[in-house]
Structure 1
């Protein structure tokens, strides 16, 4: 079948590639330096504007001869100077103490759950906002101190600027810092709990799943392969693909590109990256920086990464050193929630189209069987001697069987049969086996 003329049957939409800004936004969210840096630059620019405004206010009052009002402003600014000086001296110490406690909290969460939850703290908006406001308050207070003119009682006729607006903004930033401190501590304590962490992972995975466009049948690749392109960059995990850019460049060169690795695959130099269909391969520079490779996976174009995290947390909870089956049951709750959303979705090869509706980029995503195996294979192998987990796992499989179509029931039935077989080998006595094999959504209600 020629991929350039794939017919639309009305059951699926003609999908446009995601905007470039979405991928850029996700990359910036994975950094911790961008928001504080932007905040410091903004504070400096704001201080520059306020200096001019304060100078204009003083000039206007002197022109109007309002020296009484100018004296009141100067008295207020002098009183505020004490607060600004105190803030500038104490803010960096405050920042150090707060974020030292936060690093301890992150270490505890990663040790109890999985190291991959550290990414949740890095992407936390409240963490970045708090650090940004703290640093902005410290930097702004230092800048304001340079605006005060010397002398305890400066001559009103020689005063050129009174940092009125600057002092008011400093006080406002101090108040905002205190409010954010309370919100930040509350958010950090919440993320140290199992339930909120699992909920965050699940919601992020569901958003990534919803971003996946509908696909066509697996393996329907357009046109014979005319060229193969290999990876020349550093070794790492495929984090995201610049879909819009690839679609434009494939259209410009009249080809169809097929991305060989999936999001989350580890690639090394020389690994096949693209196959080209329909025309000679575009020059290497045309496809430069279209596939982002990093040191760890992200859920932006990789919904299976969320299942990987949930399974990891469940496996650690079931390990003999931890032995926390209740946490494993909470993970299974979220795994079933994710699979119930994916059970009706067309999981297959994704065909991205240009504005004319022609296929320009083909890339693979995990199929239904892949997701089910990722969710249950390892957890099932460790759950046979924990009745609480086996009962919850059976209830989850039964719920998914009710939602799944006939062709998607097979992997669920396979995992159910393997679980029953493992419990029958492990559980002592017929009564114990019957108890462990009784489906229960709470594990042991």
Structure 2
């Protein structure tokens, strides 16, 4: 819920409007009580005009702020459209959850709402009531207007910086690092942990007659409720395996996992029905990919930027190389994390739930396959792919290196099919050999 609200533009502006209404109602009442007793030295700093002047000021503030708010919304929409068409549609989430944009819109709408709310309290003698000018409230409106002007300048500066591709790649990288740190623990070279499903204990391997667990709704797997799955497995005395990773596409009624009895006995009919229902309710699906539990989400965004830059309509290999540099950093971090399936145990230390996670081979394929396909004719892209594999090989463990060697063979094959200048081909061959050396634990300097 928190992540969903953070990615929306409306919650913070809506909160600002509500606070502005409360302040617009409360401050004039405070004005009535304290203005008679306020010291002259302080009164000099408050609004000193009459009812007509107060109305003119508040009307000017309200009229100008709604125009500025419309301009800000327009600039935000244009930025979202540019990010979607120029880089990747999956970057829109990064823009919509930008606190600068949300705070600026909240301030503009709050100032507009506050000015309108205070305007209704201004009284003239012609209205048949006692004349009243909320001096403190009008002064606050003036200060909010000054803050809005300053916020507009900061917003324009921030927007100009935000639409730079380097800033977007940095933000994606930072968010992906946060997700990785939240979901994965570090696993050093001496930990002995494996990243393949075949290394699971025998009690966590499904039998051939395991009960399929269908997904309850179609969409992208956004999150898995571990407590619900663990309670369902203990209640049925079963072991539950979810073999789809967050970010996978699920189809309602199609198995997303399996369950089998811990004792080997078949499930009773009512137990089977309850276990299937509880497992389906534990899988949350969304209509779009979200990064909450998806460690591959950041890599997907970086890969999208890279292949978009390599499209014929853009032809920007430099951006693709920069995106691959960020992918290399994330993969090197992931290589040092525990990517083995997550095991949940009951109070007696028995395995009850097995949650599959993306392997390094799958993540590497995600980062390399499409840039290789669309950038095979560009020596700079191939060189960065070789460097990516070299950097990852340096951080990898022995059981991870076959996946790196497989991708190295793919890049070599793609490079051999292209017609390059002899100097470019020699450089690429030298880089490919350096990856082989990194796979054996050697890092000789690359000579010009």
Query: Does residue 75 in structure 1 map to residue 48 in structure 2?
Result: yes
Task: Give deviations 1:150-193, integer Å, cap 9, x for gaps.
Answer: 338998xx45x652332233223222222222222222212211
Judged with a 3 Å threshold, the aligned counterparts in structure 2 of structure 1 residues 171 and 408 are, in CA distance, closer, same or farther, namely same
Q: Would you say how many aligned residue pairs link Structure 1 and Structure 2?
A: 412
> Partner residue of 2:220?
237
| 2:358 paired residue among 360, 366, 371 | 366
| 1:201 paired residue among 172, 175, 178 | 172
> Partner residue of 1:272?
255
> Partner residue of 1:189?
160
TM-score (norm 2): 0.80
Aligned 1:2-401 pairs, distance under 5 A: 24-58=1-35, 61=37, 75-76=48-49, 78=51, 79-151=53-125, 158=130, 162-214=133-185, 218=197, 219-220=200-201, 222=204, 227-233=211-217, 235-244=218-227, 246-247=229-230, 257-273=240-256, 275-276=258-259, 278=262, 280=271, 282=274, 290-352=282-344, 361-401=353-393
> Is 91-100 or 195-204 further displaced after alignment?
91-100
Find the aligned partners of 2:351 and 2:124 in 1 and give their Cα distance: 70
Instruction: Provide the aligned C-alpha RMSD in A.
Output: 3.5
Task: Give deviations 1:118-149, integer Å, cap 9, x for gaps.
Answer: 11111111111111111111111111111212
SS at match of 2:291: coil
Find the aligned partners of 1:136 and 1:365 in 2 and give their Cα distance: 45
Task: Give deviations 1:56-96, integer Å, cap 9, x for gaps.
Answer: 325x64xx9x9999999683574554322211112111111
Once the 2 structures are TM-superposed, how far is the Cα of residue 410 of structure 1 from its aligned partner?
Answer: 1.4
Unaligned runs of 5+ in 2: 188-192, 435-445
Once the 2 structures are TM-superposed, how far is the Cα of residue 33 of structure 1 from its aligned partner?
Answer: 2.1
Find the aligned partners of 1:53 and 1:256 in 2 and give their Cα distance: 64
> Partner residue of 1:14?
none
> Partner residue of 1:7?
none
Structure number with greater CO (CA < 8 Å, separation at least 6) is 1
SS at match of 2:294: coil
Find the aligned partners of 2:346 and 2:153 in 1 and give their Cα distance: 48
Find the aligned partners of 1:411 and 1:188 in 2 and give their Cα distance: 40
> Is 202-211 or 101-110 further displaced after alignment?
101-110
Q: Is the 8 Å Cα contact of residues 391 and 437 (structure 1) preserved in structure 2?
A: no
Q: Is the 8 Å Cα contact of residues 213 and 279 (structure 2) preserved in structure 1?
A: no
SS at match of 1:409: helix
Find the aligned partners of 1:94 and 1:425 in 2 and give their Cα distance: 56
Judged with a 3 Å threshold, the aligned counterparts in structure 2 of structure 1 residues 76 and 255 are, in CA distance, closer, same or farther, namely farther
Q: Is the 8 Å Cα contact of residues 77 and 163 (structure 1) preserved in structure 2?
A: no
Find the aligned partners of 2:14 and 2:145 in 1 and give their Cα distance: 19
SS at match of 1:237: strand
Judged with a 3 Å threshold, the aligned counterparts in structure 2 of structure 1 residues 353 and 165 are, in CA distance, closer, same or farther, namely farther
Q: Is the 8 Å Cα contact of residues 351 and 359 (structure 1) preserved in structure 2?
A: yes
Unaligned runs of 5+ in 1: 1-23
Judged with a 3 Å threshold, the aligned counterparts in structure 2 of structure 1 residues 406 and 89 are, in CA distance, closer, same or farther, namely same
Task: Give deviations 1:237-266, integer Å, cap 9, x for gaps.
Answer: 112234455556666776654334321111
